[in-house]
Amino acid sequence: MWVAATPHFCGEEDCTREGYYEVRLEQGESVWANLTERDELNNRLETWQGGLGPPDEESGENLW
Ligand SMILES: [Zn+2]
């Protein structure tokens, strides 16, 4: 997974992604996140890379 560091800008007048951040998923798909969502994703990625493991999805609680 990869999160853009800068907002999308292509200069097209009818672009609906202007100012949004591209998030590339493992399947090669892309989704678009606003700044708040992007920060959330980055926080999660940092946590994962810190070796703490992903949050416990089933209980909705963090493991630490
Ligand atoms: Zn565009």
Pairing relation of β-strands 2-3 and 21-24? antiparallel
In the predicted model, is pLDDT for residue 55 greater than 80?
no
Q: How far is the CA of 46 from the centre of ligand 1 (A)?
A: 28
Q: What pLDDT score does 38 carry?
A: 95
Domain regions of the chain by residue span = 2-52
Give the model confidence (pLDDT) of 38-53 as tens digits.
999 999 888 887 766 5
Q: What pLDDT score does 48 carry?
A: 80
Q: How far is the CA of 33 from the centre of ligand 1 (A)?
A: 14
Give the model confidence (pLDDT) of 13-32 as tens digits.
999 999 999 999 988 899 99
